[in-house]
Amino acid sequence: MAFALTPEGEREVDELLTRYPERRASLLPVLWLCQRQNGWISSEVVDYVSQRLDLSTATVRGVVTFYTMFFEEPVGENVVWVCRTLSCDLRGGKAIQDHLENKLGCTAGHTSSDGKFTLLKAECLAACGQAPMVQINDRYYENLDVEILDRIIEAHVTRGAEAAADEFSTHATFGAPSKAPISTAPPPPSPEAVRLASQPPPAPEPVGDES
Amino acid sequence: MSNPTKPLLTARYGIAESWKIANAERAGAYQVAKRALTSIEPAKLKDEVKNANIRGRGGAGFPAGVKWGFLNPGPNDQVYLVINADESEPGTFKDRSIMDLDPHRLIEGAIISCYAIGSHVAYIYVRGELASSVTRLEDAIADARKAGYLGARPFGVDHEIEIHVHTGAGAYICGEETALLNSLEGRRGEPRLKPPFPAVKGVFGMPTIVNNVETIAVVPDVIDMGGDAWSALSRLPADGGVRLYGVSGHVRNPGLFEAPVGITMRELIYDYAGGMLAGRPLKAVIPGGSSTPVLDPRRLVDAPGEDQPLHAWHGKSEIDVPMGVDTYRALGTMLGTCCAIVMDDTVNMVEACRNLMRFYKHESCGQCTPCREGTGWLVDVLNNLCAGRGKPEDVDLLVDISNNMMGNTICAFADGTAMPLLGFVQKFRDEFIDAAHNGLPSDVRHDHSVRREVEKVA
Ligand SMILES: Cc1cc2nc3c(=O)[nH]c(=O)nc-3n(C[C@H](O)[C@H](O)[C@H](O)COP(=O)(O)O)c2cc1C
Ligand code: SF4
Ligand code: FES
């Protein structure tokens, strides 16, 4: 069946088009609108978007496949992204993933048999100071342990994503509340006599470039 | 705490519902923008930004004032300001706090910056995952427009300014400024060849200034205090002001801290972040996001010559060198995003390195062969080492692959992969050789210091 945005969605597209001097620039936001309505980017969505923005389907498909957040197949009612990059792993990211796999009965990359949850691994989600963390749908859940995680998952099942987010989801914090009391600094390790090469190594090219 | 200055950038973070315009305005928001637009010449604003010595907060540390000076638009050119809120560098979580807790500071900075560089449109490119930041920014923009601070005549001044939020969709490489511009134009996020640089030919073929969120967010303070006074908040020359420092990993109190430029890593870990978890020894720290080579506290600065930039810290630990763009470059690493990942003695460096290299393999955009293939080979070799299938020569192979990636690609992603790898191998070679002989235990983990707490076992 052909895909079409709701009339309200269409109005949003019209508004989006005014934000950019080129029609094409609204491609990502329009894809977002479609995914929000349809759950994923089906070929019908690709057809619709290419017509609406006057782009070839190959162009649209090329963009869809570049970005990890556009789903190329249907996903569960809730999508759980578990961060497994270094800062999270240093504070238990693996334990969080293991627990979710047990609880949901599926490994990362798959959907639970009741269709309620798709579990995916994520790369650093910019919440490293509140590790370990997961993203569920479009909200963050931070400073996790398995007990809190259980309650968050239960809340999604029994009360729905929005209620769960209202109760448990987190925004950025400043100077995260410390679990352990802050005491005076223990003495840092005493430096052993390992010396840097006499000449500092040539300065590496900066990440990112001057313009 | 050794922060002698009162909070500036984070001054409004603690206010209840600080993201709402009424609360932000009660605490001073938009006063500087109003003054700037109604009574200061754009050229003067640009001078203040130049005098402030703001080193770009997105990772490269390029002076913002100098970058703005590259603009030289033709008579029919539309100048764009693009604010980089892609924040995807592993370990980095500072820009999100500005957008969530004080979006009006970013908008105020954007208004002043647009006026200064002669731009009428700013795009804030936010990574797709940060939906809550997007909502707060969009609400804040709507409120600022209602208040008459945006639109055709901001503060009654005849200089139209519109700000739009553009949401990404999951791709680390879109943080690279030219990839970001492609993504903003509705294309795959593939970096462009440079030159031309964005200031000459950026988004929609027009002169474009790309700056990080924090870079733009400090502009109101710079204009309020004057560039020289703001710059002098720093402990270092030519690297001005205060900045957000992040700490994650094995510290007691991970999080964000505002402090002058030039505090040391030792201060950051032990004074600001409460010291090491469970009092364990510090083994290594990645200073400013995953692309910056790791520091080893056992290593001492060797700069006996008086003309050497780090001479003043000769004989001291690497973690006692002040954190600045130039000091860290002289140390053979980079300050990057100034968000540190702290590791205690339970961490295996080969496994930590593999974790990050997997990230780069996943995120390479694939345009350049050395990067697309190299990141994959690095992971393959590291997998072999970890699984006990490696040979000692593999350690040199890692170095060889990295050396062939550096400087041979369209963008700095490949360098940002190779440099940290070389840092790991150079500083913790023993562990790599050991892994080549013995592999790693199959259940190697680096969360021992918190595992019991996370898993809730006795
Ligand atoms: C692979 C790669 C990823 C980057 N990611 C980001 C990012 O997430 N945020 C950011 O502000 N800059 C990032 N940069 C740096 C930008 O290219 C650019 O230098 C920066 O946005 C300029 O702003 P600044 O001068 O204010 O720092 C990245 C660079 C590279 C090479
Ligand atoms: S260096 Fe890597 S990320 Fe950058 S353009 Fe080349 S392939 Fe893409
Ligand atoms: S490593 Fe998980 S949020 Fe950064």
Query: Which of A81, A82, A87 to mutate to test ligand 3, by most ligand atoms within 8 A of the CB atom?
Result: A87
* Chain B residues within 8 A of A25 when measuring between CB atoms: 184-186, 204
Mean pLDDT by 10 residues, chain B (458 residues): 70 95 98 98 98 98 98 97 98 98 98 98 98 97 98 98 98 98 98 97 98 98 98 97 97 96 97 94 97 98 96 97 98 98 96 97 98 98 96 98 97 98 98 96 81 80
Q: Is B368 in the pocket of ligand 2 (CB under 6 A)?
A: yes
Report CB contact under 8 Å: A126, B445: no
The reported pLDDT for the residue numbered B447 is: 85
Edge-first strand order for the sheet with A110-111 is A110-111, A117-122, A78-83, A134-136, A139-141
Q: How confident is the model at residue A210 (pLDDT cuts 50, 70, 90)?
A: very low
The reported pLDDT for the residue numbered B458 is: 64
Q: How far is the CA of A89 from the centre of ligand 3 (A)?
A: 8
The reported pLDDT for the residue numbered B454 is: 87
The reported pLDDT for the residue numbered B11 is: 95
The reported pLDDT for the residue numbered A95 is: 95
Model ipTM value: 0.96
Report CB contact under 8 Å: A172, B133: yes
The reported pLDDT for the residue numbered B255 is: 95
Please state, in angstroms and rounded to a whole number, the distance separating the CA atoms of residues B244 and B227: 18
Q: Is B60 in the pocket of ligand 1 (CB under 6 A)?
A: yes
B59 → closest Cβ in A122, A126, A208: A208
Contacts of A156 (CB under 8 A, 6+ apart): A78, A116, A117, A136, A164
Question: Does residue A8 carry a pLDDT above 90?
Answer: yes
In eight-state DSSP terms, residue A192 is P
Question: Does residue A195 carry a pLDDT above 50?
Answer: no
The amino acid occupying position B202 is: G
Mean pLDDT of the region A59-81: 98
Q: Is B174 in the pocket of ligand 2 (CB under 6 A)?
A: no
Residue B419 main-chain phi, psi, to 5 deg = -60, -50
Which run of H or E residues covers position A60?
Answer: helix A57-66
Report CB contact under 8 Å: B62, A208: yes
Mean pLDDT of the region A113-137: 97
The reported pLDDT for the residue numbered A175 is: 57
A92 → closest Cβ in B204, B286, B447: B447
Q: Determine the residue among A86, A162, A195, A205 to mutate to test chain B binding: the one whose Cβ has the most chain B Cβ atoms within 10 Å.
A: A86
CATH class, domain A7-66, is mainly alpha
Please state, in angstroms and rounded to a whole number, the distance separating the CA atoms of residues B350 and B443: 14
Q: Is A96 in the pocket of ligand 3 (CB under 6 A)?
A: no
Q: pTM of the prediction?
A: 0.94
Q: Are B67 and B199 in contact (CB under 8 A)?
A: yes
Would an 8 Å CB–CB cutoff place B92 in contact with chain A? yes
Question: Does residue A64 carry a pLDDT above 60?
Answer: yes
Q: How confident is the model at residue A207 (pLDDT cuts 50, 70, 90)?
A: very low
CATH of domain A78-167: 3.40.30.10
The reported pLDDT for the residue numbered B5 is: 60
The reported pLDDT for the residue numbered A189 is: 41
Tokens standing for residue B172: 């680390």
Please state, in angstroms and rounded to a whole number, the distance separating the CA atoms of residues A63 and B55: 33
Each domain of chain A, given as residue ranges in start order, spans 7-66, 78-167
Question: Does residue A4 carry a pLDDT above 70?
Answer: yes
Would an 8 Å CB–CB cutoff place B169 in contact with chain A? yes
**Residue from B64, B207, B85, B198 nearest B134 by CA:** B85
B256 → closest Cβ in A22, A145, A174: A174
* Chain A residues within 8 A of B275 when measuring between CB atoms: 182-186
B186 → closest Cβ in A63, A90, A132: A63
| Distance from the Cα of residue B23 to its chain's centroid | 28
Q: Is A89 in the pocket of ligand 3 (CB under 6 A)?
A: no
The reported pLDDT for the residue numbered A200 is: 38
Question: Does residue A185 carry a pLDDT above 70?
Answer: no
